[in-house]
Structure 1
Amino acid sequence: MSGYIGDIKYNGPERIVVAMDVGTTMTAVSFSYLYPDDYARVRMVNKWPGQPDSAGSSKASIPTILAYHQGKCGACGSEALEYVDNSQYDIVKWFKLHLHPPSMAISDSPPPYEDPNGASGFEVPPLPEDVLIHQVYSDFLHYLMKNTRISFEQSIPNGPAVWRRLKSTMILILTTPNGWDFTQQTVLRKAAISAGLVKEEEDTAYELLEFITEGEASVHYVLSYSQSKTWLDVGSVFAVVDAGGSTVDSTLYKCMSTTPRIILEEVCPSECIQAGGIFVDRAAEGLFKRKLSGSKFGDDDCIAEMVGAFENRTKRLYDGTMGNYVVDFGGTRDNDRPYGIIRGKLSLTSQDVSSTFQDVVQRIGESCLRLLGNHKAKYLLLVGGFGESQYLQRCLRERVGFEKISIVTAEEPVKKAAAEGALIWYIKRIVAARIARKTIGVERYDQFNPLDPQHLLRRGIAWTDHDGNLKVTGVYSPLVIKGTRMGNDFTNVVQFSRFYNSLEDQLGSFSCIISAWEGEYTPFWVRDTRGQHYPQLKHLCILTANLSGLKYSLQRKIGPKGEYYQVEFWVAVQFGGTQLHARLQWKERGILREGPVAILPNVAA
């Protein structure tokens, strides 16, 4: 399959790069063999087990589905579909929903969504017993890489030898929804390590594994395939809406430069809502069950056939312009006229079909309006599998049309937008600045101030430190505030101190929790007067570091109880890229030293 070809020659090291977009319902993979002084070319993996030979076609995606037998993965993708009716197998689908944070399922704008078939009332299919979410991802990623290697070796000259030689330095890129953070990245990193895609060593797991939001990947894709020269000018503001299976990611960009290359910056915090194609399918399932109650075609197997037919054709073709539509699910002998079934076709009114879209389209429209706000955007670029829906495009035109915003779609099929766009991002990196979606910081202590009423209320949780001063914990030190513009190298530094009784003490390890504040303002306190965390504080991850290297930085001090030793150090946290990075810093004889910081999963408050 033809794919993106770079417009300038690649000048980095010889390398293999693989990008995987694991969607809720469909998955796609792209790869590139980057060679110095040659034009980068992106290829899609378009040959998968269980699918007809797709050479020369655009079949570049597979179902995101696995079949488990007694806790072991037996099949993935199209091959797993063969086990759907096998009672000996557990079918795992829509497992991506298990990682969605609760905030993505909650709408913050009226009216309330009370439709039981809507996104807010959606039930996530359970995983098989004793199978954890990271294991599902590990099994699936292993399957994807196995077939990526086959495709690479068959399409690249001397492919097997090149793969063996460069596998240890291969870059893996995973796409994630805008609403995911370090918590979900940790699960994916663990899965990639378990699947053998990257090594377990801390530095390797961060250097060779990259994350990119589906929204940012999509903007790289759409600018590569749309006629951007006809509408993209310096200073122009535009939105990219990636409507997928379970999430809709929306980001607003401003064009800072078009020559010698395109450079974009985010304008405001991006949007990510739990809405998409699978919610329309679930609403259709509820519709069929209600309409066919009492019909011989109302059993679960028939309803499942109808949902499949609806998803494959009716949903994709529906634009709301005709009075009636059909769901072609059966054969010519399947008839039940009182229930609207003739020759294997269920007849639906346009109002019936539109009702299945209503909740999702409403959510998407409101999310777009929140994103656009008072910004004078000219264009809305719509991508993603669900973005191909003619009805969604029509509704968005009606919803944002009064703002004089034009809706643009890519000329190429967009179901692979994130997978191919992720690799284009690696090659071009046209986004130079992002906007923080939330306030993130660390908790620290402060010297007790008896003149401060808030300090006095916390007198019961204060303690006396080695230096004889009374300290109180629960003070929030923001590293980045929601709405902050962050360049790719945006870094903030926070200072810490540790005290020891003697030089012989082991310095041990240091840890601090990175937390997000989900309230409306940036707080001074994140603990109440009893020392309990406020509910708006969400723990994201833990930074840990070995302090043994700081032994020669200990400073002798004299306190009320005599001699003690203090060491001061800093943790530099980089937010500007697509994932969190941190380094330990300290001064030794006036020279700045650095050491590694491990990033661990979040913990309970």
Structure 2
Amino acid sequence: MAGYIGDTKYTGPERIVVAMDVGTTMTAVTFSYLYPDDYARVRMVNNWPGQLESGASSKIPSIVAYRQGKYKTCGLEALEYVEDDQYQIAKWFKLHLHPSSMKIPDVPPAYESDNDASSFEILPLPQGVPITQVYSDLFQYLMENIQKSFEQSIPNGPAVWSRLRDRLTVVLTTPNGWDFSQQSLLRKAAIGAGLVTEENSYELLDFITEGEASVHYALAYSQGKTWLDVNTIFAVVDAGGSTVDSTLYKCISTSPTLALEEVCPSECIQAGGIFVDRTAENMFKQKLSGSKWTEDECITEILQAFESRTKRIFNGSLGSYVVDFGSTRDNDRARGIIKGKLSVSALEVETTFEDVVQRTIASCLRLLGNYGVKYLLLVGGFGESQYLQKMLREQFESHKISIVTTEEPSEGAMIWYIKQSVMARIARTYIGVKVTTRYNPGDPEHVRRQQLTRKDLDGTLSLSGKFTTFVSKGTRLQGDFTHVEGFSRFYRPVQDRLGSYSCNLAIWEGEGNPSWVIDLKGEELPQLRRLCILKADLSGLKNSLKFEIGPKGEYYRVNFRVAIRFGGTQLQARLQWDEQGVLQEGPISIIPNAII
């Protein structure tokens, strides 16, 4: 159960921290009891319900069982209900959260077609069960088992848990490509599961990308001190069940604190182990067509055997491989089945990997560029594939890039929390707000939009749809980064309208830094996407504002600011304003690491 042990003594307050890594196919969790003036220890939960004592594992299947919309169980115990028609199984539900920028066509191609073998349909959720509820049920199940493991492994565990539970910190891992909308859903699910409360969720719930968690695990367990020097540039490729996240880092310092910075925006593609499985399913159905072996139950057993062993040991060095799925009574020599073992050629197995491997290599090539990368750290469940490791070595070792293999994002997330290494990030997109600007008849772009002008309360002509950029794509973000931008808003009359105010912080997903985010018809461009809402309670200004007179009568001008800063490991945004000379601030909104 014991894992990483900190190299320096913990100096913070006594607390419990748990980390949850919910993958597409497998889930793992860790916890740590942090005590002042003691070395932090990370512990894996590896005693799960339904698990044989001789087969203890830190991972359980990411599946949740329901009956008539009511939660039944999770993980290994849920496997018992997969073939039961009375139960519905939530499986591969993580795919429902992938943003459109990561998704690919939903219709799987024919086996060995020239089309994209990674194309994939997303399995439906159990009827009447929203994705938030699936995550909430799984989170609650994980926390119950964390508590059991904690109380059994920590001296006086039940009393310690009871004393510290209300201040327990939760760290969740997410793919690089997820952003605010996915984090908001997971936050809601965590609140619903009782992990945190709505009031303390921003304080006690942290998110870390799977790629960043993996780099901390890799550096802790791959003898990083033997190869990681100042100015070393290395890549971390996290190949999981449904995504491959790739990030490029440069080592800024190794002592007294490890300091890393992202070299360029990270990559996140939809690829991984489940796409190999689905292509294999198509292959088996064609290979065994016209026989009893294509019945759903048989195909399921063959796939399970393929995934659990054949896929993992395949490296292309043998001429053929076996899928050990049945009993000695299962024989069909014409189709290569002898005593429950299906023989498949190396070429057939290789074809199931082909598209995912090509996608992964292409993503790595886009990321590595000409940065002089020395090491590629391959992590994640699919990163254990011997064939993927072999193909990456063939591709990159000729360029003097060494492949380092290791895994475990759950433990990496915990190591990240304990060490809190300095990480400078590179913004992956443009962050800003859509604003109204004063009409300029000397600007051709303004003239083109003249039909969209309107007269403000102060009498000036204005145009909406201008984009003010706070953070540009490629900006290097670290602890000293701040940006404050001032704006004004007109009100009339103040008694009726001045109170709660909000504005939308947005990201631009198109090419280049935009000047305008609406077209000539006034329609918002599809490349603009709302990131979060910044809020302010301006009611305290009611008695201090002085009215002004415009062509339309009395109005009030309210000045406020949008403040962006990089705090710790996260980019934060909030509204600021002054009340009688005193600075006031609205609640903080956390901008997800996927954006930066």
Give the shorter-chain TM-score range.
Answer: over 0.9
Q: 1:402: how far off?
A: 2.9
* Distance change (3 Å), C-alpha of 1:166 and 1:268: same
Q: Which residue of 1 aligns with 2:35?
A: 35
One of 575, 586, 593 as aligned partner of 2:584: 593
Q: Which runs of 4+ in 1 moved over 4 A?
A: 113-117, 575-580, 597-601
Q: Which residue of 1 aligns with 2:89?
A: 91
Q: Which residue of 2 aligns with 1:185?
A: 183
Q: Which residue of 2 aligns with 1:478?
A: 469
Q: Which moved more, 1:300-309 or 1:564-573?
A: 564-573
Q: 1:434: how far off?
A: 0.7
Could you report, residue by residue, the CA deviation over 1:158-184 in whole angstroms, capped at 9, with x for unpaired residues? 111111111111111000000000010
Q: 1:590: how far off?
A: 3.2
Paired with 2:453 and 2:438, the residues of 1 have a C-alpha distance of 9
Q: Which residue of 2 aligns with 1:250?
A: 246
Paired with 2:324 and 2:14, the residues of 1 have a C-alpha distance of 51
Q: Which residue of 1 aligns with 2:274?
A: 278
Provide the identity percentage: 66
Q: Which residue of 2 aligns with 1:299?
A: 295
Q: 1:81: how far off?
A: 0.3
**What SS does the aligned partner of 2:30 have?**
strand
**What SS does the aligned partner of 2:178 have?**
coil
Describe how 1:436-515 pairs up with structure 2 within 5 A. Answer: 436-488=427-479, 490-515=481-506
Q: Which moved more, 1:573-582 or 1:259-268?
A: 573-582
- Which residue identity lines up with residue 415 of structure 2 in the other structure? I
Q: 1:46: how far off?
A: 1.0
- Which residue identity lines up with residue 523 of structure 1 in the other structure? P
Q: Which residue of 1 aligns with 2:109?
A: none
Q: Which residue of 2 aligns with 1:110?
A: none
**What SS does the aligned partner of 1:185 have?**
helix
**What SS does the aligned partner of 1:375 have?**
coil
Q: Which residue of 2 aligns with 1:409?
A: 405
Q: Which residue of 2 aligns with 1:151?
A: 149
* Distance change (3 Å), C-alpha of 1:38 and 1:79: same
- Which residue identity lines up with residue 49 of structure 1 in the other structure? P
Could you report, residue by residue, the CA deviation over 1:19-61 in whole angstroms, capped at 9, with x for unpaired residues? 000000000000011111111111111111111126xx76111
Paired with 2:32 and 2:501, the residues of 1 have a C-alpha distance of 40
Q: Which residue of 2 aligns with 1:572?
A: 563
Q: 1:313: how far off?
A: 0.3
Q: Which residue of 1 aligns with 2:140?
A: 142
Q: 1:562: how far off?
A: 3.7
* Distance change (3 Å), C-alpha of 1:585 and 1:168: same
- Which residue identity lines up with residue 546 of structure 1 in the other structure? D
Q: Which residue of 2 aligns with 1:8?
A: 8
Describe how 1:515-526 pairs up with structure 2 within 5 A. Answer: 515-526=506-517
Q: Which residue of 1 aligns with 2:120?
A: 122
Q: Is the 8 A contact 1:212 1:578 kept in 2?
A: no
Could you report, residue by residue, the CA deviation over 1:210-267 in whole angstroms, capped at 9, with x for unpaired residues? 0000000000001001111111110110001111111111111000111123211110
Q: Is the 8 A contact 2:175 2:268 kept in 1?
A: yes
Q: Which residue of 1 aligns with 2:102?
A: 104
Q: 1:406: how far off?
A: 0.5
Paired with 2:62 and 2:191, the residues of 1 have a C-alpha distance of 20
Q: Which moved more, 1:80-89 or 1:395-404?
A: 395-404
* Distance change (3 Å), C-alpha of 1:116 and 1:332: farther
Give the TM-score, by structure 1 length: 0.93
Paired with 1:550 and 1:402, the residues of 2 have a C-alpha distance of 66
* Distance change (3 Å), C-alpha of 1:503 and 1:2: closer
Paired with 1:404 and 1:598, the residues of 2 have a C-alpha distance of 43
**What SS does the aligned partner of 1:105 have?**
coil
Describe how 1:170-569 pairs up with structure 2 within 5 A. Answer: 170-201=168-199, 204-410=200-406, 414=407, 417-488=408-479, 490-551=481-542, 554-569=545-560
**What SS does the aligned partner of 1:220 have?**
helix
**Please, which runs of 5 or more residues in structure 2 have no aligned partner?**
106-111
Paired with 2:239 and 2:539, the residues of 1 have a C-alpha distance of 49
Paired with 1:579 and 1:305, the residues of 2 have a C-alpha distance of 45
Paired with 1:239 and 1:449, the residues of 2 have a C-alpha distance of 48
Q: 1:561: how far off?
A: 3.2
Could you report, residue by residue, the CA deviation over 1:451-497 in whole angstroms, capped at 9, with x for unpaired residues? 22221222222211111111111011112122111114634333332
**What SS does the aligned partner of 2:292 have?**
coil
Q: Is the 8 A contact 1:220 1:422 kept in 2?
A: yes
Paired with 1:527 and 1:429, the residues of 2 have a C-alpha distance of 41
Q: 1:549: how far off?
A: 3.0
Paired with 1:425 and 1:306, the residues of 2 have a C-alpha distance of 39
Q: Which residue of 1 aligns with 2:108?
A: none
- Which residue identity lines up with residue 538 of structure 1 in the other structure? R
- Which residue identity lines up with residue 266 of structure 2 in the other structure? S
Paired with 1:539 and 1:587, the residues of 2 have a C-alpha distance of 26
Paired with 2:480 and 2:32, the residues of 1 have a C-alpha distance of 26
Q: Is the 8 A contact 1:14 1:34 kept in 2?
A: yes
- Does residue 25 of structure 1 match 2:21? no
Q: 1:114: how far off?
A: 6.6
Q: Is the 8 A contact 2:173 2:410 kept in 1?
A: yes
Paired with 1:521 and 1:222, the residues of 2 have a C-alpha distance of 35
**What SS does the aligned partner of 1:434 have?**
strand
Q: Is the 8 A contact 2:534 2:586 kept in 1?
A: no
Q: Which moved more, 1:252-261 or 1:561-570?
A: 561-570
Paired with 1:363 and 1:556, the residues of 2 have a C-alpha distance of 61
Note the aligned Cα RMSD (angstroms).
Answer: 1.9
- Which residue identity lines up with residue 206 of structure 2 in the other structure? E
Paired with 2:591 and 2:213, the residues of 1 have a C-alpha distance of 26
Q: Which residue of 2 aligns with 1:60?
A: 58
Paired with 1:283 and 1:598, the residues of 2 have a C-alpha distance of 41
**What SS does the aligned partner of 1:125 have?**
coil
Aligned length: 586
Paired with 2:491 and 2:148, the residues of 1 have a C-alpha distance of 57
Paired with 2:203 and 2:482, the residues of 1 have a C-alpha distance of 17
**What SS does the aligned partner of 2:143 have?**
helix
**What SS does the aligned partner of 1:294 have?**
coil
Could you report, residue by residue, the CA deviation over 1:394-432 in whole angstroms, capped at 9, with x for unpaired residues? 10111222321000123xxx2xx1100001001112242
Q: 1:69: how far off?
A: 0.6
* Distance change (3 Å), C-alpha of 1:475 and 1:579: same
* Distance change (3 Å), C-alpha of 1:600 and 1:389: closer
Paired with 2:146 and 2:264, the residues of 1 have a C-alpha distance of 36
Q: Is the 8 A contact 1:446 1:471 kept in 2?
A: yes
Paired with 1:286 and 1:259, the residues of 2 have a C-alpha distance of 52
Paired with 1:563 and 1:469, the residues of 2 have a C-alpha distance of 15
Q: Is the 8 A contact 1:335 1:343 kept in 2?
A: yes
Q: Is the 8 A contact 1:211 1:578 kept in 2?
A: no
* Distance change (3 Å), C-alpha of 1:385 and 1:587: same
Q: Which moved more, 1:29-38 or 1:478-487?
A: 478-487
Q: 1:82: how far off?
A: 0.4
Paired with 1:227 and 1:459, the residues of 2 have a C-alpha distance of 63
Could you report, residue by residue, the CA deviation over 1:97-134 in whole angstroms, capped at 9, with x for unpaired residues? 00001211359xxxxx9756722x20010001121111
**Please, which runs of 5 or more residues in structure 1 have no aligned partner?**
108-112
Q: Is the 8 A contact 1:115 1:359 kept in 2?
A: no
Q: 1:597: how far off?
A: 5.0
Q: 1:576: how far off?
A: 5.7
**What SS does the aligned partner of 1:297 have?**
helix
Q: Which residue of 2 aligns with 1:78?
A: 76
